Amino acid sequence: MRLYTNQHRFYCGIDLHARTLYLHVLDHDGQARFERNIPARPDTFLEAVRPFRDGLVVGCECMFAWYWLADLCAAEGIDFVLGHALYMRMIHGGKAKTDKIDAAKIAGLLRGGLFPQAYVYPKALRETRDLLRRRTFLVRQRAQFLTHVINTNSQYNLPSFPAKLGYKANRSNLDDIINRFPHESVRHSIRADLTLIDALDARVDALESYLTRRARIDDPVTYHLLRTVPGIGKVIALILLYEVQDVRRFGRAGNFLSYSRLVRCQHESAGKVKGAGCTKIGNGHLRWAFGEAACLMLRCHEPAKHWLQRKTQKCGSKAKALGILAAETARAVYHVWRKQQPFDPKKFLTS
């Protein structure tokens, strides 16, 4: 957890919503100087904080509508801090909870040096990252439609499909797939699924072509270096490139693994282990990417296969061994990126 500890003349806590925001300003001595609920518009916000612009810091909780506020503060030269939603338990755990109380707590956390920071992703790459996340959503929607077709086939105890429907060539004759279902309503449902799958295939291909071109413009060297790691292809490399953005913000490989949800968060008290928690803190997109990279690595990297066999015998579980392999892959990515050197197989999985 990173805490914001800088000192300022004024501390502005904002409870932000889509159409309104509650604003609370504290001075350096902790006295409330201003509090009001205002429309979430740039002009009204700037007018409200105008008397406190000299030495002001603005903080709000990370929620879906923070982009415009961060960009406005950057353009106006106002210090802005984004609060990590899962760490700000002082706000969510109170007996009473209102916009007024929340804004005051945020301002108090800023003044007291206890404000947990989240990363303010740079505006220049933010839209590309969001498009990449949208591409992931569309791929998962496609998988749902495909699963529905296969499950419907099993539901009516029909013969298995002769080939995997995930490949477009195996769906070339739609009538053969649709007409195997006897009821007309079911045929309409399957036709809708297959039509949407074809449409999503075309759209996902177009998005991947655009995103690949963007990556070769934004950071072509890192994009190429990431693809030297076994198991990392063009899509996983894109996810890593735009979800991390700058690996130098992680001082050690352990910090990077923690952000990627690849570290076991052990709870201990008085020498007794109380289990683990905080599994949702970190970047879920990176956790998925490294898990996929570990599985794909086993197809093309022979040393990884032998290493996994030994680690499975030692751990007693293949799932645990795969989790460790995902963490080792993330560690290798960190050093490849940080040192700007291609993947070295001689230094990988040496233990």
What are the pLDDT digits (tens) for 41-72? 999 999 999 999 999 999 999 988 999 999 99
Has residue 306 got a pLDDT over 70?
A: yes
Has residue 345 got a pLDDT over 90?
A: no
Q: Which residue has the tokens 């990988």?
A: 348
Buried b (16+ CB within 10 A) or exposed e, 104-122: bbbbbbbbeeebbbbebbe
Has residue 7 got a pLDDT over 70?
A: yes
Which residues lie across from 61 on neighbouring strands? 83
- In angstroms, the CA 185 to CA 187 distance is 5
Work out the pLDDT band at 277, boundaries 50, 70, 90: low
Continuous segment of H or E residues that includes residue 84: none
Contacts for 134 with CB less than 8 Å, ≥ 6 apart: 207
The predicted structure's pLDDT at residue 328? 93
Parallel/antiparallel/unpaired status of strands 56-61 and 10-16: parallel
The DSSP secondary structure of 102-155, one letter per residue, reads HHHHHHHHHHHT-EEEE----HHHHHHHHHHHHHHHHHHHHHHHHHHHHHHHHH
The predicted structure's pLDDT at residue 281? 85
Has residue 270 got a pLDDT over 80?
A: no
The predicted structure's pLDDT at residue 236? 96
- In angstroms, the CA 182 to CA 305 distance is 46
For residues 291-299, average pLDDT: 93
The predicted structure's pLDDT at residue 349? 73
Q: What is the dihedral of CA 8, 11, 12, 14, to 10 degrees?
A: 120
147-182 pLDDT, tens per residue?
A: 999 999 999 999 999 999 999 999 988 888 999 998
The predicted structure's pLDDT at residue 175? 87
For 3-120, CATH number?
3.30.420.10
- Do the beta carbons of residue 33 and residue 16 sit within 8 Å? no
- pTM beyond 0.85: the answer is yes
226-249 pLDDT, tens per residue?
A: 999 999 999 999 999 999 999 999
- In angstroms, the CA 215 to CA 51 distance is 43
Report the chain's mean pLDDT, rounded to a whole number.
92
90-132 pLDDT, tens per residue?
A: 676 777 889 999 999 999 999 999 999 999 999 999 999 999 9
Has residue 204 got a pLDDT over 90?
A: yes
For residues 252-279, average pLDDT: 82
* Tokens standing for residue 46: 């700037």
The predicted structure's pLDDT at residue 90? 64
Contacts for 34 with CB less than 8 Å, ≥ 6 apart: 23, 24, 25, 48, 51, 52
Has residue 276 got a pLDDT over 80?
A: no
The predicted structure's pLDDT at residue 103? 94
Domains in the chain: boundaries: 3-120, 125-218, 225-347
- Do the beta carbons of residue 4 and residue 113 sit within 8 Å? yes
Burial of 315 (0-12, 13-18, 19+ CB in 10 A): middle
Work out the pLDDT band at 271, boundaries 50, 70, 90: confident
Has residue 274 got a pLDDT over 90?
A: no
